[in-house]
Amino acid sequence: MTTRKVSAHALDQARRRGVDEATLDRVADRPEQVVPVRPGREVRQSRIPSPQGTTYLVRVFVDIAGSEETVVTVYKTSKIAKYWRES
């Protein structure tokens, strides 16, 4: 069983960048896409519609050590094409 914690830095960045905890959790748990960064770190990302009608990409950076995951930071961007990986 994998356990996940969210660092204080990630919570602070989520608040500052307008990403609510429910969205952070949803992307971390069920991302549309997972992009490896290096051994032990990956970016989990999903496209999220905003109430204003635009779509943002929410990117959650996760460190993985054994069965423990730590969310280290999160942000949202409108530059979906820059980060989205086509299969």
Q: What whole-number distance in Å separates Cα of residue 25 and Cα of residue 59?
A: 11
Specify the pTM. 0.93
pLDDT in tens, 35-81: 999 999 999 999 999 888 999 999 999 999 999 999 999 999 999 99
Separation CA 21–CA 52 (nearest Å): 20
Domain ranges of the chain: 3-83
Q: How far apart are the first and last CA of the chain?
A: 29
User: Does the 3-83 domain belong in CATH 3.40.720?
Assistant: no
In the structure encoding, which two tokens stand for residue 31, read together? Answer: 């991302």
